[in-house]
């Protein structure tokens, strides 16, 4: 099965702090809604999920240089044209970074990356009120029930409700509910990815599990700071959506491109941590 994968690399000797939101215990951080099929980030090793995915966390630590490459401007302190190239070609990262093969088996990257496509993903939203507009435009009813529609298909994705229509179809009546800038936000991207899921999805009838899972992942992946003068909260993490190429072409996050196949690098400049959120949509439905 294809699914979400989260890995973390961090600088040796850097202490973990609770952060402004505090740190949830492992049980709470790994808790998922009963039917949503959301992936836990608290468990180590692969895990099946009802969205048709497998989750894996924990490639262990890598040398500090690997994480710090992403914190340096191009041409400073690393080889290669981009910090992302240096990160992927770090020996420890290259030998431990997990991805799913075409047969659905977990494997490592294991090849020299010759090209990187990296897009900075805006990450400025600090409130889930960002999604309140779903309740006022006939997408979600007041009680949280998602409004259904006749089945449609888009890019091998089943669209059976108004929520997926507004997320995917540009000709949807409510598509303009979110502007293009809204849709580029990392918070929106997470929500969209969880709503669409993998090749074997068990869709929700209510929106709450999607919102709760998005909030939990967002808080776990990004870091914030409070301005001591204004007391305003701002996000300090930098988010990249990346694709890597080797001598044979596209190799990461998969050799096949799909909007639900993705890899995000979330860089914490203070802790020198790099969180990797990975998902592969297509391929073998079952694996050992």
pLDDT in tens, 246-259: 999 999 999 999 99
Q: Which pLDDT band, with edges at 50, 70 and 90, does 189 fall under?
A: very high
pLDDT > 70: percent of the chain: 70
Instruction: Give the mean pLDDT of the chain.
Output: 77
pLDDT for 66 equals 58
Query: Comparing 3-17, 18-32, 97-111, which segment has the lowest mean pLDDT?
Result: 18-32
Residue that the structure tokens 């959120």 belong to: 277
Question: Among 105-119, 133-147, 248-262, 271-285, which is the least confidently predicted range?
Answer: 271-285
Between 214 and 97, the more confident residue is: 214
Q: Are 134 and 144 in contact (CB under 8 A)?
A: no
Q: Which residue has the higher pLDDT, 277 or 198?
A: 277
Q: Which of 116, 91, 68 is nearest to 240 (CA)?
A: 116
The DSSP secondary-structure symbol of 71 reads: G
Of the listed ranges 92-106, 111-125, 159-173, the least confidently predicted one is 92-106
pTM above 0.95, yes or no: no
User: How far, in Å, CA of 41 to CA of 47, rounded?
Assistant: 10
- Please report which confidence band the pLDDT of residue 80 belongs to, taking 50, 70 and 90 as the band edges: very low
Q: Which of 8-12, 38-42, 105-109, 239-243 is the most confident on average?
A: 239-243
Show the beta-strand stretches assigned E in the chain: 4-10, 47-49, 53-55, 98-100, 106-108, 115-121, 148-154, 157-161, 224-226, 233-235, 238-246, 249-252, 262-268, 273-279
Cis status of the peptide bond prior to 242, with omega within 30 of 0: no
249 Rama class: left (phi>0) / alpha (psi -120 to 50) / beta: left
Task: Select the more confidently predicted residue: 74 or 107.
Answer: 107
What is the per-residue pLDDT for 198? Answer: 86
- φ, ψ (nearest 5 deg) of residue 105: -100, 140
């Amino acid at each position: 099965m294809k699914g979400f994968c989260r890995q973390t690399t961090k600088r040796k000797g850097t202490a973990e702090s609770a952060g402004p939101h505090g740190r949830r215990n492992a049980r709470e951080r790994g808790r998922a809604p009963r039917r949503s099929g959301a992936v836990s980030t608290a468990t180590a090793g692969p895990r099946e999920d009802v969205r048709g995915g497998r989750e894996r966390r924990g490639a262990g630590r890598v040398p500090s240089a690997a994480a710090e490459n992403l914190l340096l401007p191009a041409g400073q302190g690393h080889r290669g044209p981009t910090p992302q190239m240096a990160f992927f070609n770090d020996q420890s990262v290259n030998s431990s970074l997990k991805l799913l093969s075409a047969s659905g088996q977990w494997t490592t990257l294991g090849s020299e990356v010759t090209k990187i496509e990296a897009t900075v993903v805006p990450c400025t939203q600090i409130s889930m009120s960002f999604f309140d507009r779903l309740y006022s435009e006939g997408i979600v009813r007041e009680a949280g029930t998602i409004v259904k529609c006749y089945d449609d298909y888009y890019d091998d994705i089943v669209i059976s409700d108004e929520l997926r229509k507004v997320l995917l179809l540009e000709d949807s009546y409510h598509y303009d509910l979110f502007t293009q800038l809204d849709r580029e936000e990392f918070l929106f991207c997470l929500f969209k990815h969880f709503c669409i899921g993998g090749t074997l999805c068990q869709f929700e009838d209510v929106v709450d599990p999607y919102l709760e899972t998005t909030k939990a992942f967002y808080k776990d992946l990004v870091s914030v700071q409070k301005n001591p003068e204004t007391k305003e909260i701002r996000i300090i993490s930098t988010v990249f959506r990346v694709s890597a190429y080797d001598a044979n072409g596209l190799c990461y996050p998969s050799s096949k491109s799909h909007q639900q196949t993705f890899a995000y690098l979330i860089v914490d400049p203070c802790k020198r941590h790099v969180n990797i959120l990975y998902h592969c949509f297509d391929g073998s439905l079952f694996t050992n």
